[in-house]
Structure 1
Amino acid sequence: MAATGGSGRSTVAHLLATAMAPLAETVVADLSPRLSSPWPWWTADDAQAGGLAALPPDQPLSRADIRSAAAVRQAAADSHWSVLTDARAWHAAPLDLPADPAAWHQLAAAGGWQLLLADTAHPVAHDLLTARCTGLPGLTRAWCALPFTVPVLCAQPTAAGIQALQQAVMVLDAEGLPLQRTVVVFSAASDGRLPATAQAAATMLTARAAAVVQLPHDADIRTHGLAAPPSRIHGRTRQAARELASAVLAAAGEAFGEPLPDAPQPAAAPNPAPAVLDEEDPTR
């Protein structure tokens, strides 16, 4: 999640999924509107995936149905991970996707995945302030309330990015949300050390958040996105992604115990009652 757009959320989700895939069955849920999301482009080579449009909310779904709707990305020679996104043509009507995070948790569990990475699209601080003013729970709080959740808060290490991040942290703290198990990620937009303002913010957040991780600038990702194979990703970027995965796992273990307990499973849909024929009139 992030305080504002352009914070590197999707890049962080992609790299984190690649690093976590060897450890757990992983799925990324793309929650951004289709025409502003990079995921349909990044997964365009998987033409067999039906995408979110193949999962009608008013019909029962099997595990095979859910799995076949997900695009598959290669993490390494012996591991892969899945993406649930809307990969239809640009002119298709927008899908009416559920906003409730519990619906996505249930979909991931029904699909048999162990780890759900949600690439959220809402601005965190705005969502929390709106929830406070309307008396509603808000999306950020609902995501944080899911079993064994580790929030990953993304920001650009620029003056505007740091200001938005600091506002978000202030609001998260005021609303009593779990900063102590939140991992903060700075996605560098250029080579070199973090600017002084970002270094100061990282120092401040180290004492309040679970971890602060810097993703280095990767010129290939900046130029070509993440549609290319993982081998195109720079070695130092892969190392930073592994550090991020370790920080997320450490935060989960510190907050919930090691090993993690089993998460609640969604209840299976009840079987319909068998039809009873009327002996006098079998058509009834």
Structure 2
Amino acid sequence: MDGPGAGWQALTDGREWSAPPLDLPADPAAWYQLAAIGGWQAVVADTAYPLGHDLLTARCGNIPGLTRTWAELPYAVPVLCTAATADGVQALQQSVMVMAAEGLPLHRMVAVLVGTGEGRPPSVVRAAATMLSGRVSAVVHLPYDAGVRANGLRSSRVHSRTLQAAAQAASAVLAAAHESWGAPLPPAPQPAVLRPVSPAFPA
């Protein structure tokens, strides 16, 4: 479906905000191939998996893991989201340290700290943001928005602060991409043309 104002599209099933996640391909390469087939210049893939658990499992099992596979996709800018709470930022800080030890490209990752209530973020969250800003490309604070919390992005009452933070996050992703691959960005990849396969035996 086309997004408002044209110029972008959303691949979605149009289900209610409260519906469980779809059973989608876990392999990040599948999403890269989808982008290439569509010829899209930019694609936002919304994933939900426990980052810290994935990193630990990958290290203990000596396997690549989803985090590494996403991070090493060509032209990928991972956005790491966590709750703006003491537990949330502590988990993200630990994950970032593990990713640094594993040699993952933190310089083109963006961290988003999502508010869970009204008011200023706690001091521990602000301190964590300072620490993270020296490790990742950018840190963005997404304020609490009761309308989005209740109705998702279909809400007609999205707060202006939420829109400003979303624009800031998008700008941070674009800046990280420009820093890594130049401005303007290279053309979208095009898949190779498939040639017809001759049958092995006469029909």
Q: Compute the TM-score of the two structures, normalised by the length of structure 2.
A: 0.86
Question: Which structure 1 segments of 5+ residues have no match?
Answer: 1-71, 88-93, 278-283
CA distance in structure 2 between the partners assigned to 1:123 and 1:233 by the alignment? 27
Q: In proportion to residue count, which structure has more strand? A: 1
CA RMSD of aligned residues (A): 2.3
CA distance in structure 2 between the partners assigned to 1:267 and 1:100 by the alignment? 20
Partner secondary structure for residue 155 of structure 1: strand
> Deviation digits for residues 135-186 of structure 1, max 9, x if unmatched?
2111111111111111100011112112211111111111111111111101
CA distance in structure 1 between the partners assigned to 2:187 and 2:7 by the alignment? 23
Partner secondary structure for residue 269 of structure 1: coil
CA change 1:152–1:242 in 2 (3 A) is: same
Within 5 Å, give how 1:166-185 maps onto structure 2.
Answer: 166-185=93-112
Structure 1 residue aligned with 2:185, among 252, 260, 273? 260
The question of whether the paired residues in 1 share the 8 Å contact of 2:39 and 2:189 is answered with no
Aligned residues: 197
Structure 2 residue aligned with 1:244, among 147, 169, 176? 169
> Deviation digits for residues 203-259 of structure 1, max 9, x if unmatched?
11111111111111111111222233xx53211211111111111100111111111
| Structure 2 residue 68 is the aligned partner of structure 1 residue 141 | yes
- Equivalent residue number for residue 157 of structure 2: 232
- Equivalent residue number for residue 205 of structure 1: 132
Which one has the largest radius of gyration?
A: 1
Q: Compute the TM-score of the two structures, normalised by the length of structure 1.
A: 0.63
Structure 2 residue aligned with 1:123, among 50, 56, 62? 50
Structure 2 residue aligned with 1:217, among 144, 147, 163? 144
Partner secondary structure for residue 154 of structure 2: coil
Within 5 Å, give how 1:57-72 maps onto structure 2.
Answer: 72=1
CA distance in structure 1 between the partners assigned to 2:48 and 2:80 by the alignment? 12
User: Per-residue deviation at 1:276?
Assistant: 8.5
CA distance in structure 2 between the partners assigned to 1:274 and 1:181 by the alignment? 46
